[in-house]
Structure formats: C-alpha cells, structure tokens
Amino acid sequence: MIVRPVAEGVEVLAPAKLNLFLEILGKRPDGYHELESLMVAVDLYDTLTFADDATGAITFRCDDPSLPTGRDNLVVKAAEVLRADAGCDRGASIALRKAIPAQAGLAGGSSDAAATLVALDRLWDLKTPPGRLSELAGSIGSDVAFFLNGPAAVCRGRGERVEGVPLTGALHFVLLCPPIGLSTVAVYRHVTVPERPRPIGPVVQALAVGGTEALGASLFNRLQPAAEVLEPALSRVRDALSERVGPSLDGSLMSGSGSAYFGLARDRTAAEDAARQLDTLGLGRVRVVTCGP
C-alpha cells in the first residue's frame, strides 16, 4: 500500500494480492474455513482519495458503475467501522478508481477497505494502535488485515491472522484475468477439505531462499479444482499457462477463489515474453505484475 498526502487530503494506491499457496485445514463451526496461505502484494493498484467532510457525512463514489456504493461496499463499511470504534463524528468524501478486477481472487475490495482504514486513521488523526487496526480489518473481511502488513505474509485462521515473511528480491508474474467472475462463497462451498493438508513449510522456505524454481514447484491452491468444476472454461486458462507458455515460466496457479491465474517467471523479461504469447490466445486481459521487497 502506498499512502501519500495530496491537496484534498490523502491518496492511497491499494495493491492486488496473489496467493502463492492456499490450503484448507478444516471447516469451522462459524461456516468459514480454517486456512493457511502465503500471499504477496503486487503492483496492480486501485486508487483512492480521501477528503475530510466537515458535515460528518461519509460519501463514496466509484468509476465502476457495477460496484455498490452503499454499506455493501467494503470501503464504506471500513469507514463506518473505524469511525464507530474511535467514537468520532468526522466525515469523509471518498473516491475510488478501480483497476483491480472484481471476483478475480485478487482481493481488490479487501485492499480498498485496508486503504480506507489507514487513510482515515491519518486524515481524522485517530492514532489507532496497529493491533486494533488489524482487529478492525479482520472484522471487515478475511483478507483485509493482510494489506496492513505485506508485501509478503503467511495468513492463518480465516485469513485474518497475518505473519509477515521477508522477501529476498522482486518476484515477477504474468497475470491473466479471464472475463469470468467467481463468487468466493460458491467456490468455498465446492471445496473438498483434505484428510491430510499439504504443509505450507516448503513454499515459505522457497520464498526465503530466493530464486523462482523451487518456489514455482511449490505453488498450490486447494480452491482451484473447485473453481474449475464451477467454471469449466477456466481449464483453458490453466492449460494455456501450464502448457502453452509453460517453458517461459517456473510455475502457475489460480489466485484465491479465482478467476485470475498467474505464472511465476524467473525475471521481468520472461514474464513479458509469456505475456506476449498469452495475449495472442484471447483468453482475457494479460498483465505483467511485480511484488517488490
């Protein structure tokens, strides 16, 4: 997350995330799934601006008309949760420019919510302790707290227990977003809880050591088969990454609950090479993205 002061107040660049690993450990009594995931933030950003509103109103506008602008939007929810927790009566005018596709497993809405917590905490001069901000993030959505940490972290529980992990260098990816939206709820409903969960250790170790070969070989997402059953067209995206551009990449995977897929490349040139090849297939929007230390 990149936060900077602007004339109106505060501007935040809110990054997308990729899951390099996601395993389900079990189903919880509250209906959520206990999970273990390695997430990284990448340089595909939504842009939010926040201005103080002396009337005390929280107003929100977004350049994507398909998104809700009321409390159904995590930005509005985050603003209200923070304000109630602080017991303050300040207002804000919030504008969101979307670049992160929705229903793609990239957690754009969660990142926007985290950006809202950080920006309004600053704009309203609340000085909320970091631990409290994380708790509020966890109450808004499972992925929100990750974005308060980043750029790389192991997430546990519902996803809200976040432990930062060091990055040894930049990671370069090719990202393919097919024009298919997947409901997170539906994907989790179709997932099979494994009898023997795959351990997260090897992928965390590979990230710590650096290089992309071992990391690419340990990419894993338990939600991917469930998403591909729900949307069989996704298997073409998977095969394009693993077979058509496989030689340019060290591994590929679906992110989160989908529908975006990514390939891990050894360097920027290899990622751009894979992007050029993928672009010719017409399967969706292709980008090169980076996770920097």
- Amino acid letter, 143: D
Burial 57-77 (b: 16+ CB within 10 A, else e): ebebebeeeebebeeebbbbb
Q: Which is nearer to ligand C5P, 158 or 238 (CB)?
A: 158
- Distance between CA atoms of 138 and 157, rounded to whole angstroms? 10
Residue nearest to ligand C5P (CB): 142
Query: What DSSP string describes 147-178?
Result: HHH-SEEEEEETTTEEEE---SS-EEEEEEE-
Choosing from 46, 112, 121, 143, the catalytic residue is: 143
**Least separation, in Å, of the C-beta of 110 and ligand C5P?**
6
Please give the residue ranges that form the binding site for ligand C5P (CB under 6 A).
32-33, 35, 141-143, 158-159, 184-185, 188
Q: Which is nearer to ligand C5P, 29 or 166 (CB)?
A: 29
DSSP 3-state of 290: strand
- Amino acid letter, 37: S
Identify whether 17 is a catalytic site residue. yes
Q: Which is nearer to ligand C5P, 33 or 90 (CB)?
A: 33
**Least separation, in Å, of the C-beta of 240 and ligand C5P?**
27
- Distance between CA atoms of 256 and 16, rounded to whole angstroms? 11
**Least separation, in Å, of the C-beta of 198 and ligand C5P?**
16
Burial 12-28 (b: 16+ CB within 10 A, else e): bbbbbbbbbbbbbbeee
**Least separation, in Å, of the C-beta of 94 and ligand C5P?**
20
Choosing from 17, 46, 77, 98, the catalytic residue is: 17
For the annotated catalytic residues, the residue numbers are 17, 143
